[in-house]
Amino acid sequence: MDTGDTAWMLASSALVLLMTPGLAFFYGGMVRSKSVLNMMMMSVSALGLIGVLWVLYGYSMAFGADIGGGLVGNPGQFLGLQGTFGGTYLATEGGPAADIPLVATIPATVFVAFQAMFAIITVALISGAAADRLRFGPWLLFAGLWATIVYFPVAHWVFAFDGVTAGADSAGGWIANQLKAIDFAGGTAVHINAGAAALALCLVLGKRRGWPKEPMRPHNLTLVMLGAGLLWFGWFGFNAGSAVASNGIAGITFVNTLVATSAAMLAWLLVERIRDGKPTSLGAASGIVAGLVAITPSCSSVSPIGAIAVGAIAGILCALAVGLKFRLGFDDSLDVVGVHLVGGLVGTLLVGLFATTSAPAGVDGLFYGGGFDQLWRQAVGAFAVLFYSFVISLILAYLVKAVTGLRVTEESEVTGIDEGEHAETGYDFSSLRAGGGLSHSSLPPVKVPAEPVPAGKES
């Protein structure tokens, strides 16, 4: 066990956890005020639900010994995290050194925690496509089923490398080990996966009432900007932490995450300036997320100059892609498809163009003399995840719809899903229900100064 690596991975796990509240702010600010609490609750509820499922069997399905030709891990191997902890934790003076299960140079439990945060944020991402109209109970049911049938197996495909899992002696996931596609931190398993599921869910749910004729603008852009900042901050743990060590790989992925995101934000703002005449704060926040998404799979395989190119291309293409929902008629409320699905595809495929052997992954893409070899591997991995996630998500959404129903009532959708589903509101401006706030009757009287009396007329 390396204490430096362990400390970095504990910090990275906490950084990735912060991304889910950041996403709650980001999504919460983008909806109308009557839906803000429900939107935030969908992200927060993913923390609870997926956290429990990950410990029970999710980690085992993702990182257990392969039992299906690279398709899924053994769900019983680490059931309840058995085999990932135990041993001598604290060595006594003159006694044996700590003897605990390791993944690479860190305790297995630290790796469990780090990967749990990935599972949580992936599920939370989906909810943005269903804003304003998805009931909370069916959301939890869909999220639990989707994590079990889609995310946990796909995480095995992408993240289960030889020698990574604690005690596993299998070949690992098929994308990582057989196909040898590069996805350093989850462009396929997280972003393409969640984006495809979001598309399926919004198609089954149908359009919001009044969309696209009624204006449905973000109600609080301050929250959106705060959420984008927290996501960018947490993403350094997401990408650099995926090195699973405090080393040079973490360093280059950290730098690439910074510059790609910066380039994507500038590119998105440029598109807005040319297309709409004004750059916007929502565009800046969306560009940040698009750049973060695109550099996620490629941060270990490109140079910093390549990262700038990846970010700029993603910023332009995602800025254009968010308008597709109006042309194609699907109501992806918060542009999960346009940013995460498209951004994930862009970042994954561009590995095949901009990868260089000077980067840690050690592969040359088309622009560096590597031909099309890596590009086709990237394409197969990306579209395999897209197809699997979309089809299974469509089936699960229809199943939940048939069993429990998905949409809130028309009354709840019109008056506000916050009150309909949670009996709360995000903002309360009523003096009768202010709960201790100042009302007009409680304000002190205003004293108006008397007019000055002219000199000599005091009497």
Q: What is the structure's pLDDT at 76?
A: 92
Q: Residue 445: pLDDT above 70?
A: no
Helix 36-53 and helix 136-146: axis angle, to 10°?
Answer: 40
Helix (H) or strand (E) holding 106: strand 106-107
Instruction: Say if residues 98 and 170 touch (Cβ distance below 8 Å).
Output: no
Mean pLDDT calculated for residue range 411-424: 92
Q: Residue 283: pLDDT above 60?
A: yes
Nearest to 54 by CA among 31, 75, 24: 75
Q: Residue 444: pLDDT above 70?
A: no
Q: What is the structure's pLDDT at 1?
A: 87
For 217-245, how does the pLDDT look when each residue is reduced to its tens digit (9 = 90+)?
Answer: 999 999 999 999 999 999 999 999 999 99
Q: Taking phi first (over 0 means left), then psi (-120 to 50 degrees means alpha), and beta for anything else, what does residue 423 get? A: left
For the chain, what is the mean pLDDT? 91
Highest mean pLDDT out of 68-72, 383-387, 427-431, 454-458: 383-387
The pairing of beta strand 102-103 with beta strand 106-107? antiparallel
Q: Residue 122: pLDDT above 50?
A: yes
Mean pLDDT calculated for residue range 269-288: 97
Q: Residue 169: pLDDT above 70?
A: no
Residues 6+ apart with CB under 8 A from 277: none
Q: What is the structure's pLDDT at 455?
A: 57
Q: What is the structure's pLDDT at 456?
A: 55
Mean pLDDT calculated for residue range 199-215: 93
Cα dihedral 71, 106, 382, 182 sign: negative
Mean pLDDT calculated for residue range 159-167: 64
Q: Residue 173: pLDDT above 70?
A: yes
Query: Lowest-confidence range among 98-107, 206-215, 286-295, 376-385?
Result: 98-107
pLDDT band at 100 (very low <50, low <70, confident <90, very high): confident
Residues 6+ apart with CB under 8 A from 340: 125, 191, 192, 194, 195, 198, 289, 293
pLDDT band at 286 (very low <50, low <70, confident <90, very high): very high
Q: What is the structure's pLDDT at 34?
A: 94
Q: Residue 180: how many CB atoms within 10 A of its CB?
A: 13
pLDDT band at 168 (very low <50, low <70, confident <90, very high): very low
Q: What is the structure's pLDDT at 88?
A: 58
Q: Residue 103: pLDDT above 50?
A: yes
Distance CA(312)–CA(265), nearest Å, equals 8
pLDDT band at 436 (very low <50, low <70, confident <90, very high): very low
Q: What is the structure's pLDDT at 85?
A: 84
Q: Residue 152: pLDDT above 80?
A: yes
Q: What is the structure's pLDDT at 218?
A: 95
Instruction: Say if residues 144 and 81 touch (Cβ distance below 8 Å).
Output: no
Q: What is the structure's pLDDT at 428?
A: 83
Cα dihedral 121, 123, 128, 132 sign: negative
Please give the model's pTM, rounded to 2 decimal places: 0.91
Q: What is the structure's pLDDT at 342?
A: 98
Helix spans in 299-409 (H): 304-321, 324-328, 336, 342-354, 373-403
DSSP of 420-435: HHHS--S----GGG-S
Higher-confidence residue of 136 and 95: namely 136
pLDDT band at 379 (very low <50, low <70, confident <90, very high): very high
Distance CA(212)–CA(165), nearest Å, equals 47
Q: What is the structure's pLDDT at 438?
A: 40
pLDDT band at 90 (very low <50, low <70, confident <90, very high): low
